[in-house]
Structure 1
Amino acid sequence: MTLTGGRPATRAGSPPPDRRLSAPAPSFAHLARLSDDTGLFEHARHAVVRREHGYCTDDVARGLLVTSREPEPTGAVLRLAECYLAFLTHAQDARGAFHNRLGHDRRWADRPGLGDWWGRALWGLGTAAARSPAAWIREEALVAFSAGAVRRSPAPHAMTFAGLGAAEVLRRHPTHAAAAALLADAAATVGTPSAEPGWPWPQPRLTYASAALAEVVIAASQLRHDGPLLDSGLRMLAWLRDVQLRDGRLSVVPAAGWGRGEARLRHDQQPIEVAAFADACATAGTITGDPVWDVGVRQAVGWFLGDNDVGTPMWDPATGGGYDGLTPHGPNLNQGAESTLALISTLQHARRWS
């Protein structure tokens, strides 16, 4: 996420890399640099944490997600997961809603709500409940997930993120009734593809993390007998893939979004879009067995390694941090939590072919 006030730091691009480059292993070094014993700081100037901007549930939840995805986490990664889980359980109120913003003074700056942060909290908790190698983390995460899963948000993205957490829980606990109901409601909130050939997306505009909407429909088709048709989610994802390819490389919809009938802008591209696309392609590939979706994962990994519109890497190997956005002149060199988490999440999927 780009900090407001001030121009982003950029670096000139370089020639597009060889698309056969192998992916590095995910590094948690910068994530640890951005974390303390309370949670995960949201912003950084270059690689230096900006404590004055505090923490947010949005990012801490994504931190729990990526640390829980590690099949053999180190002790340091497991301690990060513990910290993030404790933050989320502290952020949750008795009715299952969540605070989002905590200042460096450890005071909440908002009231509990059901925005995107609620959905991402359930996604992180659901992933921890399903995948963490630590039994006590799985148990505590499931308790917190179950408390939040009975709530509903009017926001489609919030419901989408929560639905992805429900899908994680159902893969491990197929009879979890609250997760099943939440996943069904999330897919219904997204809707079905439009019949319009040139714009089959259910909404008139692409905004952010768009591939997640297709992914939750795909997941619901697998995990709910009365869920949407698999073809609906795959059609959404295939169209999104096609409109985001430029000369064979990934060129995601920028932060300004893109609406039906509008001119398509190229910048500023955000790492969250790439990570969402990698997630959705990995899910589609797992469910269908079609290797075409592995190509999508490779394109997402390639975007971070430099196979993008500017031909420049979108991460810093020296720190392990992800750059905050792709401008016409190169990367925004700030390495905040959202972009670093997007980098880690995407590189985790590279294990599919390692």
Structure 2
Amino acid sequence: MHPHLQPTKTIQKKEPVTGKIALPAFNPDHVLNMTDSTGMIQHALRNMPNRKEGYCTDDNSRALLLTVLAWKQVRHPEMLKLMSVYLSFIHYMQMEDGYFHNFMHYNKQIVIDGGSEDAYGRTIMALGYLVADGPSPLTIKTAEDIFLKAAPHMDKLISLRGIANSLIGLCMFIGSHHPQDEHLNRATQLADKLVHEYRRYSDKDWHWFEEVLTYDNAMIPLALLHAYQIARQEEYLHTALEAICFLESKVFRDGVLYPVGNNGWCSKGGTTALFDQQPLDVMAMVLFYQQAFHITGDKKFLARGIRSWQWFMGENALEQPLYDKDTGGCSDGLHPDRVNENQGAESTIAFWIAYFAVSEMLDR
């Protein structure tokens, strides 16, 4: 177990937050366990890396984002080494035209499948954070080069989550002293696409960007909060806050977070699937509340961010923790009758990103 790197923090009850909140010590053991010299391995068999599943750009980009947040807050020495591994993986997976392959077999053979807009967006997001908060000029310049080579593909995105993640990364990039008109125009165009879809699908009973709530939902209104921060267009803020209120009506039950289950999702006019709940959705909620608290200063967002994070620690439908304090890993989700025993890359990274988001809110 790593030494306690961060003081315990507490928050008094404001909204229905149970008791006081104490953050565990940062423990990157399982992140290190899942990473080799090539990158982060996608999946785990319990807490053992499942090398048969290979690597993906999705998870290495999320892992890169985690290292940026961890280095910024706790200066953990392993983070710089991991940052280099993940950034190198992303560079290797970038195609000549700037787009990214997503999958690589364990034998380092790239899967030629055209890539994924989700993976592209998550990579742009991670690179944007690295440009904004990177540890050294050389690392930042490398991230800039990869980012700028990939940037033109933003104009052709169709996937809402690809657009949202890209927009977050672009706003971070712009905020780090890159306010050229080209970047600002691209950001507002992406934000306007999200607002357009919101208007298209919303009615008096449904306030969302599409006809179904699926995965990573809160990332979409989160992107509009980032766009509002750089463009100051009130419609972006209004849409984001209205959408999150609607999402909250679907996922909070008696103060406990029930992320939309991927065993059926939540369709317009239908019911909301309770299981299988996934850590990625909880991370998105926490990130939204972090940004909303940052922009508005309203402590209700702090309370809701903490309440969402408690899902990992056992305040969930099964009243069982997903975070494993012995390994530093996080289970892959909640089934109707049990916690998933596997501690894959996506879930563990989602936990630690949410952890650093809550930590940053408590520091304010």
TM-score by length of 2: 0.88
Selected match of 1:333 from 341, 344, 359: 341
CA contact (8 A) 1:97 1:148 kept: yes
Selected match of 1:188 from 176, 185, 192: 192
- Structure with greater contact order relative to length (CA < 8 Å, sep ≥ 6): 1
Q: In structure 2, how many angstroms separate the alpha carbons of the residues matched to 1:137 and 1:111? A: 29
Q: In structure 2, how many angstroms separate the alpha carbons of the residues matched to 1:182 and 1:272? A: 27
Residue 330 of structure 1 and its aligned partner are, at CA, apart by 2.3
Q: In structure 1, how many angstroms separate the alpha carbons of the residues matched to 2:232 and 2:141? A: 27
SS at match of 1:150: helix
What whole-Å deviation, never above 9, does each CA across 1:27-63 have from its counterpart, x for those lacking one? 2211110000110000001100001110000000000
Selected match of 2:177 from 173, 180, 183: 173
Aligned twin of 1:117: 119
Aligned twin of 1:294: 302
Q: In structure 2, how many angstroms separate the alpha carbons of the residues matched to 1:46 and 1:167? A: 37
Aligned twin of 2:54: 54
Residue 336 of structure 1 and its aligned partner are, at CA, apart by 0.2
What whole-Å deviation, never above 9, does each CA across 1:298-328 have from its counterpart, x for those lacking one? 0121000100111010111000001001011
Cα root mean square deviation, aligned? 1.8
CA contact (8 A) 1:149 1:178 kept: no
- Worse-matched range after superposition: 157-166 or 224-233: 224-233
After TM superposition, the structure 1 = structure 2 runs for residues 23-62 of structure 1, keeping only pairs within 5 Å, are 23-62=23-62
Selected match of 2:159 from 155, 160, 172: 155
Aligned twin of 1:279: 287
CA contact (8 A) 1:92 1:112 kept: no
Percent of aligned positions that are identical: 28
Aligned residue type for 1:305: M
Aligned residue type for 2:166: A
Inter-CA distance 315–203: structure 2 relative to 1 (3 Å threshold): same
Aligned residue type for 1:35: T
Structure showing the higher helix proportion among its residues: 2
Residue 174 of structure 1 and its aligned partner are, at CA, apart by 4.3
Residue 117 of structure 1 and its aligned partner are, at CA, apart by 0.7
Aligned residue type for 1:278: V
After TM superposition, the structure 1 = structure 2 runs for residues 46-125 of structure 1, keeping only pairs within 5 Å, are 46-70=46-70, 71=72, 72-125=74-127
Whether 1:353 aligns to 2:362 is: yes
Aligned residue type for 2:143: A
Aligned residue type for 1:229: Y
Residue 225 of structure 1 and its aligned partner are, at CA, apart by 4.6
Residue 134 of structure 1 and its aligned partner are, at CA, apart by 2.5
Q: Which structure 1 residue ranges, 5 or more long, are not aligned?
A: 1-16
- Worse-matched range after superposition: 232-241 or 167-176: 167-176
Residue 187 of structure 1 and its aligned partner are, at CA, apart by 1.6
- Worse-matched range after superposition: 231-240 or 78-87: 231-240
What whole-Å deviation, never above 9, does each CA across 1:90-109 have from its counterpart, x for those lacking one? 11112110000011111101
Q: In structure 1, how many angstroms separate the alpha carbons of the residues matched to 2:272 and 2:132? A: 39
SS at match of 2:152: coil
SS at match of 1:274: helix
CA contact (8 A) 2:102 2:116 kept: no
Aligned length: 338
Residue 243 of structure 1 and its aligned partner are, at CA, apart by 2.1
SS at match of 1:229: helix
SS at match of 2:207: coil
Aligned twin of 2:313: 305
SS at match of 2:218: helix
CA contact (8 A) 2:121 2:164 kept: yes
Residue 186 of structure 1 and its aligned partner are, at CA, apart by 2.5
- Worse-matched range after superposition: 217-226 or 158-167: 217-226
Q: In structure 2, how many angstroms separate the alpha carbons of the residues matched to 1:267 and 1:188? A: 33
Q: In structure 2, how many angstroms separate the alpha carbons of the residues matched to 1:26 and 1:324? A: 19
Q: In structure 2, how many angstroms separate the alpha carbons of the residues matched to 1:245 and 1:87? A: 38
Inter-CA distance 51–271: structure 2 relative to 1 (3 Å threshold): same
CA contact (8 A) 1:41 1:337 kept: yes
CA contact (8 A) 2:250 2:272 kept: no
Task: List structure 1 runs of 4+ shifted beyond 4 angstroms.
Answer: none
Q: Which structure 2 residue ranges, 5 or more long, are not aligned?
A: 1-16
Q: In structure 2, how many angstroms separate the alpha carbons of the residues matched to 1:37 and 1:27? A: 20
- Worse-matched range after superposition: 256-265 or 209-218: 256-265
Aligned residue type for 1:162: S
